[in-house]
Amino acid sequence: MGDWITQSSQLIASVEEPHGADSHGGDHGDGHAWVSWEGLLVYVAIVVGTLFVLMAQAKKGLNNRFFTNKLTQLFEQVYLFIENMCVGTIGAHGRRYVPMIMTMWMLVFSGNLLALFFPTSPTADLSFNLGLALVSVAYVQYEGIRANGLFGHLGHFAGPKLGGFLALLISPIIFVIEVVSELMKNVSLSLRLFGNIDGGHRAAEAMNTLGAGIYVPFGAFLLPIKLLTVVVQAMIFCLLTAVYLSLVTHHDDDHGHGHEAEAGHAEVAPAH
C-alpha cells in the first residue's frame, strides 16, 4: 500500500518534471507544468475511483420510496438536472441520452473540481479534453446516422434542398463547410474546457507569484470564480453535446432553423 502511494506520488510529481526526450510530460517553455501520460492516468484514476466510491455509497440508498441517503439525493438531483437539460434541448427522446451525458458531466465536473485541490487535473489537459470531445462528437455522428440513415445524415450536411444548378454549385460548398464545422466542434469543445481550467491554474499561479514576496497567496482569491468555472464548464460541455444531438436527431425539414440554433451557440460559447 505504502509503495503504491509512493509510486502514485511520484507519478503526480511527474507533472513538475522537465520535458524529457521520451515523455510528453513536463514544462513546455513558459514555466507552466503539464501532466505526463502516467500522471494523467493517476489523475483519471483519482477521478474515476472517487466517482465509483461515491456512486457505490449512493447506490446503497436506492429504493422505490423516498431517498434518505444524502448522497443518493445529490445524484438524483444531478440525474434530474441532466434529464431536464436533455429533454429541454433534444426533446422527449432526449431521455435516452441521459446516461451518456450524465457520465460525461460527472467526469468533467469531477475533473474540474480536482483542479481546485491539485496542481493540475484531467480537464486541464488538452489531450484528455480532446478525447472527451472526440467521443462526444463521434457519438453525435453515430446517433445522427442511427436516426437518419447514413445518406440522410450526410445529406443533412449539404444544407437545404436546392434544385438544378444551385444544388450543384452551393450544396457541395455547404457540405464542405459543414464537415469542417463538425471537425471544429472537437476543437471548440476541448479548447474551451482546457482554456478555462488550465487558464484558472495559470492565473492562480501568476497571482501567487505576485504575492510570493509578502507571503500572500493572491491566487486563493480566485477560488470563487474557479468554483463557478467548474460548474459552468461541465454544464456547457454537456449542453453543447445535447445541442449537437438535438441537431442531428430532429426530423424537421427546416434545416436552416437548426443551423441558426447551432450558430447561436457558437456565438455564445466563446464568452465562457
Partner 1 sequence: MSNAKQSSGPPAIVGIVVGAALMFGGFWFSKNVKLEFIKTLEAQGIPLDPGKTISIIGVLLILFPVIKFFFIAPLAEAIQNRTTELERTFGEAENLRAEMTQMKQDYERRLVQTEADAREQIQSQIKEAQSLRQQMMAEASAKAEELKASAAREIETQKQQAIAELRHHVVELALQATEKLVEANVDDERNRKLVADFLETVEAPR
Closest CA to 243 of 266, 227, 272, 225: 266
Residue 216 near residue 232, CB atoms below 8 Å? no
Please report which residue ranges of the chain form alpha helices under DSSP H. Answer: 2-13, 37-60, 70-90, 98-114, 126-148, 150-157, 164-211, 223-249, 255-268
CB 82, min distance to partner 1, A:
9
Name the β-bridge partners of 26: 34
Kindly indicate which of the ranges 2-10, 76-84, 154-162, 177-185 contains the residues binding partner 1, using the contact rule CB under 8 A. 76-84
Closer to partner 1 by Cβ: residue 22 or 252: 22
CB 168, min distance to partner 1, A:
35
Closest CA to 131 of 107, 112, 150: 107
CB 207, min distance to partner 1, A:
20
Tell me, residue by residue from 125 to 164, as one string, x for binding to partner 1 by CB under 8 A and - for no binding. xxxx-xxx-xx---x--xx---------------------
Closer to partner 1 by Cβ: residue 95 or 257: 95
What amino acid is encoded at 163 in this protein? G
What amino acid is encoded at 213 in this protein? G
Q: At how many degrees (to 10) do helices 223-249 and 98-114 cross?
A: 160
φ and ψ at 27, to 5 degrees?
A: -95, 135
CB 18, min distance to partner 1, A:
13
Closest CA to 46 of 10, 12, 71: 12
Closer to partner 1 by Cβ: residue 92 or 214: 92
62 scored as a contact of partner 1 (CB under 8 A)? yes
CB 76, min distance to partner 1, A:
6
Residue 137 near residue 185, CB atoms below 8 Å? yes
Among 65, 117, 214, 251, indicate the residue that binds partner 1 (CB under 8 A). Answer: 65
Residues making up the chain, counted from first to last: 272
Kindly indicate which of the ranges 9-17, 72-80, 166-174, 212-220 contains the residues binding partner 1, using the contact rule CB under 8 A. 72-80
Q: At how many degrees (to 10) do helices 2-13 and 37-60 cross?
A: 120
Residues from 27 through 46 that contact partner 1 (CB under 8 A): 28-30, 34, 37, 40-41, 44
Residues from 82 through 121 that contact partner 1 (CB under 8 A): 83, 93, 95-100, 102-103, 106-107
Q: Catalog residues that contact partner 1 under the rule CB under 8 A.
A: 22, 24, 28-30, 34, 37, 40-41, 44, 48, 51-52, 55, 58-59, 62-67, 72, 75-76, 79-80, 83, 93, 95-100, 102-103, 106-107, 125-128, 130-132, 134-135, 139, 142-143
